[in-house]
Structure 1
């Protein structure tokens, strides 16, 4: 069993990981996914990393380097998912550690993320296994 990570960039690679991201973002069809990732990669330096087990993607992390007055230079994890069939095998922890390493190597002082209020298992993972602290609430308003 060979575990490795890679940055997902080509359309072919994006289509290979789409079934996993669809588990996290069910509202996105393939076309919307490809369009959004392409735009985010070009304009916001969005990175999408896949953790692979024997050439099969099993977990994904999409993140962006950011600067804000509240957090300084940091990485914002926008998307983090382990394929349902491969959960509780340590893949999420391994992938988040890879994001943290990338952040350190690129001068970031923190890694931040948000998690939906209903995702209790994810919250336990972040707090108990990854030592992340709940720092705030995220509020959102959809504009019409």
Structure 2
């Protein structure tokens, strides 16, 4: 029998446990920079939830409640990562479903996220497994 739990990580000592998974998604981050950014995001309500299967970390999500003129009050998913060796086993779907429920409980009307153009497997997951709509492009300009 599989025992799956989802828990919020609140302290820096807890959060650093997911750094190896974060590194899979954001390979340019080192642990020191990861810690700095996590601390900087705390005042704005950034939260990390981890999925455990039999006590072992299998996935995590980094989320934040935001409000704007086009999504209104919504959950923004900064990260959603499942361990590479166990993808396509339903963990991501369960964790993102948790995010939807969490958003509803917190008065949100939408869940929004961005995914790099190169992440075709992730796009397929969002569209086919989770029924997300692809509806816009996101642009950026470096200021350095």
The aligned runs of 1:1-144 (5 Å cut-off) are: 1-41=2-42, 43-144=43-144
Give the Cα–Cα distance (whole angstroms) in 1 for the partners of residues 106 and 33 of structure 2.
Answer: 29
Deviations 1:77-136 (A, max 9, x none): 111111101111100000000111110000000000011001111111000000000121
* TM-score, L = length of structure 1: 0.96
- Which stretches in structure 2 are left out of the alignment for 5+ residues? none
RMSD over aligned Cα, in angstroms? Answer: 0.9
* TM-score, L = length of structure 2: 0.96
- Which stretches in structure 1 are left out of the alignment for 5+ residues? none
Runs of 4+ in 1 over 6 A off after TM superposition: none
Instruction: Tell me how many residue pairs correspond in the alignment.
Output: 143
Q: Give the secondary-structure state (helix, strand or coil) at the position aligned to 2:10.
A: coil
